[in-house]
A and B are shown apart, each in its own frame.
Chain A
Amino acid sequence: MDKRFDYSQAAAEADRCLLCHDAPCSKGCPANTDPGKFIRKFKLKNIKGAIRTIKENNIMGGACGVLCPTSKLCEKECCSSELDRPIRIGKIQEFLVRYGKDIEFQVFEKPEALLEKVAVIGSGPAGLSCGAELAKKGYQVTVFEKESEPGGVLRYGVPAYRFDKELLSQELDDIKHLGVKFECDCDIKNPGEAEELLNKGFKAVFIATGLWDAATILSNPPDGVYNSVEFLLNSHTEQMDILNNEVKNKKVAVIGGGSVAMDCAGLASKFQASDVYLVYRRSFCQMPAEKDELFDTLEDNVHFMILNQPKEYIKDQDGRLTGIKLIRTRLSDPDGTNRRSPVEIKDSQWVLDVDLVVEAIGNKAFDNSNDLYPDVDVDDKNLIKASLDDCQTSNKAIFAGGDIVRGPSLVVNAVQDGKTAADAMDSYLKKGRTNNE
């Protein structure tokens, strides 16, 4: 993980920006953070204006600066790539948001909350973004969070070494400053409870509960097999020391090739595992994680075991994990259209001795998640059905966004869903007001 930019690094980087007409980077941002504009402002020494642009467009601008796979978004579109290399937009964005705190710059005026009460369930990026936008519009917003502190995946799903909680607190302070109330340790889990909020004075509800169940690879895992959700969650709670002890000086295998797998492998390495293996059934270049993450993970001394498919866990007589049986794979012949898929190589099974496995192949919704909102339509994966244009569900007063609608996705997409939903909720509530007149 390379270092944060300081003022001079950020200014030097911004100075490289070509200030493109119809800035392609801005078009590349799913949350319309508008890097073309904030970098121009920074370059022309309008630094408060630059911070204002970021935060007004993207209340989680700091988090996105750190966590966005920028090489696949804004930086992918950067015209400077044609000259030498793209502008490090994420780094500049992170710097500017942090700098706002350094200079005690308060972007937002506290709005008057004179409009209806609205509820947000879940305080991850989608919920926070929606809550902030609604508060800016003048709504009385309450965010319900089941954990003891707000942040959702930003707090409990990303290792601390990758995203520091100081920046999260800073952005939460901005949201609290806007008047958003947080109810933590408030698990909305009883059947229909999400919808009941509408009977408790809340005129609209935004569901942004995210995905907190883990997809599994092999059934009946023995002791010593974690899924990524519990592994990362434990690294943030009082379980951290226990987890650290469990990992230290052990051989750990992480299964998966995405961003979460890289986080788990990186975390195992930070917890001083003796060896960390990353097991992936396809090729290196097919890993969904961003290139920078892959190389950071390599530099964390993680051994990449590509083209290996897990077949079976090996355990001792106490039922404790001792290894994984893997089979070597090759990629199917290219057919010019599809992503080449892994094909098992006959008789190539082998056993990798490990003490601990983390399955990191993706998050999913809990099977019973729709009990909370029985009137809201969900699909066969228990994802809420809502159009990304307005985030409205089959219940007109209930909106939803983020991973619980999209499936596993990016923080920046969740932020955009929050903005979209806030606009749609505002229209919906305005309509209600006009009808009542």
Chain B
Amino acid sequence: MNKNSIDLSIDFCGVNFKNPFLLSSSPVSNSAEMVARSFDAGWSGVVFKTLNSDTVPIIHPSPRMYGYGYGRKKLVGLQNVEMISDRPLKDNLADFLYLKKKYPGHVLISSIMGFSNDEWAYLAKASEDNGADMLELNFSCPHMAVEGAGHHVGQAFDLIEKFTTTVKECVSIPVIAKMTPNITDMTEPAIYAKNGGADAISAINTVSGISGIDLDAIVPTPNIFGLSSNSGTSGPVIKPIGLRFISDMAKCDELSLPLSGIGGIETWIDALEYILLGASTIQVTTGIIHYGYDIVEDMIEGLTDFMVEKKIAKLSDLVGKALGSLKTTDQFDLKRQGCSVYDLEKCVGCGQCYTVCKDAGGFALEWDEKKRQPVLIEDKCLSCMICSFVCPVKDLITFKEMPENWKREDAVVMDESLKTKIKYEPFKNFIK
């Protein structure tokens, strides 16, 4: 199998995408001028920035974003208080026509958000009439203060169903419902969307959060002339949340709709993780805000090479492939235990493993001061593996299974004699 035999194309609600990589509805898909460049770079489709119907003027706060950094790494998270498109509807629709004319093989998904039933219907119709291949219903913008809009809809499930029904009744193109993660269980609203006729679910929109505080002004960031707000957090920090919600929905038999994965995707590995947990397309914004459109080249190349390596020719064969091993914690085989393994040939002697094992692990390491190396006491290793997370050397610390009869040492009691003095009775469970 070689690169040329790999098929990255995917069917999503009956629409063919030449690869699974789309721009999500956001600043990166604000105009045809931008989207055209993204298509040239290799993205297969776009969810255009959410349309507005010109009824209320849209003015973005200023400044409208804040970067959440960690150490040298910039933008591990992004905070934004941006609103839906501030462009006149006619400009956006003209851009639709341009894109469909110039890029007929690319998929144009129109994101819409209404403040009333009629407005949902109006925007849906306008989108379909001007070439949109699909719709995405924005039930999740976290910056809408008005009841019945944005994430307030996403949190009021009957409205999801109502608005989806309305849209489905007036268009024939497939409809995706975009979910907010600012709830506990996403399958429930997703089923409401399905009942309203949604053909697919996309998730997640941004996570409601606060990125930090401007300490000079004592105002949370972004500081909008002395005020701030809970707002949307995106980027790599939210990937674990996105993966969790996608997998929940993928495993829900009652839902069984195609999924578009969103949240913290920058690399082919991030994208693949979403796919393996059930997404068949993936959408990106913050990755592009950080690095530009060209990252799609690395996503395509990386995913292709992976598929060659694993001898999987069709992308659809990867969708949901990791779901089978995703269970509840009570199903683990707790009889099988293991511990860490150290390949000290590679050790640089920093001793971070020793520090964390001592202060946060099982005290399973001693420190050889002369050699500047840890000495592992296997019987004390909790197999938490935190040592391997701080070790700067790749694959120095790994995990191995221990034999069945192996028993881990209990944590030390500082003074056994005090056991005679404790006030204690064994717990009796009276409720049977």
Residues on A facing B (Cβ under 8 Å): 11-12, 15-16, 18-22, 24, 43, 79-80, 82-83
Are A83 and B71 in touch, CB under 8 angstroms?
no
B230 at the interface (CB under 8 A from A): no
B344 at the interface (CB under 8 A from A): no
Are B367 and A22 in touch, CB under 8 angstroms?
yes
B393 at the interface (CB under 8 A from A): yes
Complex CA–CA separation, A111 to B378 (angstroms) = 53
**A15, A21, A83, most chain B CB atoms within 10 A:** A21
For the complex of A and B, the 8 pairs showing the least CB-CB separation, nearest first, are: A21-B351, A82-B348, A18-B350, A15-B72, A79-B350, A20-B350, A15-B71, A79-B348
Q: A18-B392, A21-B367, A22-B369 given as contacts; is B72 within 8 A of A79 (CB)?
A: no
Are B71 and A82 in touch, CB under 8 angstroms?
no
Are B372 and A24 in touch, CB under 8 angstroms?
yes
B355 at the interface (CB under 8 A from A): yes
Which residues of A lie under 8 Å from residue B369 when comparing CB positions? 22
Are B348 and A83 in touch, CB under 8 angstroms?
yes
Complex CA–CA separation, A82 to B349 (angstroms) = 9
Q: Least Cβ distance of B89 to chain A in Å?
A: 43
| Residues 66-94 of B contacting A (Cβ, < 8 Å) | 71-72
Are B352 and A43 in touch, CB under 8 angstroms?
no
Complex CA–CA separation, A21 to B351 (angstroms) = 5
Complex CA–CA separation, A43 to B71 (angstroms) = 7
Are B351 and A22 in touch, CB under 8 angstroms?
yes
Residue of B71, B72, B350, B393 near A21 (CB, 8 A) is B350
Complex CA–CA separation, A19 to B350 (angstroms) = 7
Are A83 and B393 in touch, CB under 8 angstroms?
yes
Are B71 and A20 in touch, CB under 8 angstroms?
no
Which residues of B lie under 8 Å from residue A21 when comparing CB positions? 350-352, 354-355, 367
Which residues of B lie under 8 Å from residue A22 when comparing CB positions? 351, 367, 369, 372
Which residues of A lie under 8 Å from residue B72 when comparing CB positions? 11-12, 15-16
Complex CA–CA separation, A80 to B350 (angstroms) = 8
Q: Could you name 9 residue pairs across A and B whose Cβ atoms are closer than 8 Å? A: A18-B392, A19-B350, A19-B355, A21-B350, A22-B369, A79-B348, A79-B372, A82-B348, A83-B392
- Closest-by-CB residue of A relative to B355 is A21
Are B393 and A24 in touch, CB under 8 angstroms?
no
Q: Least Cβ distance of A269 to chain B in Å?
A: 36
Question: B382-395, CB under 8 A of A: which get 1 and which 0?
Answer: 00000000001100
Q: A24-B372, A43-B71, A83-B393 given as contacts; is B352 within 8 A of A19 (CB)?
A: yes
Complex CA–CA separation, A367 to B369 (angstroms) = 46
Q: Least Cβ distance of B370 to chain A in Å?
A: 11
Which residues of A lie under 8 Å from residue B355 when comparing CB positions? 19, 21
Complex CA–CA separation, A43 to B348 (angstroms) = 20
Q: Least Cβ distance of A28 to chain B in Å?
A: 13
- Closest-by-CB residue of B relative to A20 is B350
Complex CA–CA separation, A19 to B351 (angstroms) = 8
| Residues 277-303 of B contacting A (Cβ, < 8 Å) | none
Complex CA–CA separation, A57 to B400 (angstroms) = 45
Complex CA–CA separation, A21 to B357 (angstroms) = 12
Complex CA–CA separation, A82 to B72 (angstroms) = 20
Are A79 and B349 in touch, CB under 8 angstroms?
yes
Q: A15-B71, A43-B71 given as contacts; is B392 within 8 A of A20 (CB)?
A: no
Q: Least Cβ distance of A83 to chain B in Å?
A: 6
Which residues of A lie under 8 Å from residue B349 when comparing CB positions? 20, 24, 79, 82
Which residues of B lie under 8 Å from residue A83 when comparing CB positions? 348, 392-393
**B350, B372, B392, most chain A CB atoms within 10 A:** B350
| Residues 334-362 of B contacting A (Cβ, < 8 Å) | 348-352, 354-355
Which residues of B lie under 8 Å from residue A79 when comparing CB positions? 348-350, 372
Q: Knowing that A19-B352, A21-B355, A22-B372 are A-B contacts, what are 10 other residue pairs whose CB atoms are under 8 Å apart, sorted by A's residue number?
A: A15-B71, A15-B72, A16-B72, A18-B348, A21-B351, A22-B351, A24-B372, A43-B71, A79-B349, A82-B349
Q: Least Cβ distance of B83 to chain A in Å?
A: 32
Which residues of A lie under 8 Å from residue B351 when comparing CB positions? 20-22
Which residues of B lie under 8 Å from residue A15 when comparing CB positions? 71-72
- Closest-by-CB residue of A relative to B374 is A21
Complex CA–CA separation, A313 to B355 (angstroms) = 62
- Closest-by-CB residue of B relative to A21 is B351
Complex CA–CA separation, A21 to B387 (angstroms) = 13
Complex CA–CA separation, A427 to B349 (angstroms) = 38
Q: Least Cβ distance of A48 to chain B in Å?
A: 13
Are A20 and B393 in touch, CB under 8 angstroms?
no
**A18, A24, A43, A83, most chain B CB atoms within 10 A:** A18
Complex CA–CA separation, A22 to B355 (angstroms) = 10
Q: Least Cβ distance of B81 to chain A in Å?
A: 25
Q: Least Cβ distance of B354 to chain A in Å?
A: 5
- Closest-by-CB residue of A relative to B372 is A24
Which residues of A lie under 8 Å from residue B392 when comparing CB positions? 18, 83
Complex CA–CA separation, A11 to B72 (angstroms) = 7
Complex CA–CA separation, A79 to B393 (angstroms) = 11
Complex CA–CA separation, A82 to B348 (angstroms) = 6
Complex CA–CA separation, A16 to B392 (angstroms) = 10
Which residues of B lie under 8 Å from residue A24 when comparing CB positions? 349, 372
Complex CA–CA separation, A16 to B367 (angstroms) = 23
Complex CA–CA separation, A265 to B48 (angstroms) = 64
- Closest-by-CB residue of A relative to B358 is A21
Question: B135-174, CB under 8 A of A: which get 1 and which 0?
Answer: 0000000000000000000000000000000000000000
Q: Least Cβ distance of A81 to chain B in Å?
A: 8
Q: Least Cβ distance of A51 to chain B in Å?
A: 18
- Closest-by-CB residue of B relative to A11 is B72
Which residues of B lie under 8 Å from residue A12 when comparing CB positions? 72
Complex CA–CA separation, A200 to B341 (angstroms) = 69
Which residues of B lie under 8 Å from residue A20 when comparing CB positions? 349-352
Residue of A11, A16, A18, A82 near B352 (CB, 8 A) is A18
Complex CA–CA separation, A43 to B367 (angstroms) = 24
Which residues of A lie under 8 Å from residue B350 when comparing CB positions? 18-21, 79
Complex CA–CA separation, A79 to B351 (angstroms) = 10
Which residues of A lie under 8 Å from residue B348 when comparing CB positions? 18, 79-80, 82-83
Q: Least Cβ distance of B395 to chain A in Å?
A: 14
Complex CA–CA separation, A18 to B356 (angstroms) = 13
Which residues of B lie under 8 Å from residue A43 when comparing CB positions? 71
Which residues of B lie under 8 Å from residue A18 when comparing CB positions? 348, 350, 352, 392
Complex CA–CA separation, A297 to B355 (angstroms) = 42
Complex CA–CA separation, A24 to B350 (angstroms) = 9
Q: Least Cβ distance of A286 to chain B in Å?
A: 29
Q: Least Cβ distance of B359 to chain A in Å?
A: 11
Complex CA–CA separation, A79 to B391 (angstroms) = 12
Which residues of A lie under 8 Å from residue B354 when comparing CB positions? 21
Q: Least Cβ distance of B422 to chain A in Å?
A: 35
Q: Least Cβ distance of A323 to chain B in Å?
A: 52
Complex CA–CA separation, A19 to B354 (angstroms) = 12
Which residues of B lie under 8 Å from residue A80 when comparing CB positions? 348
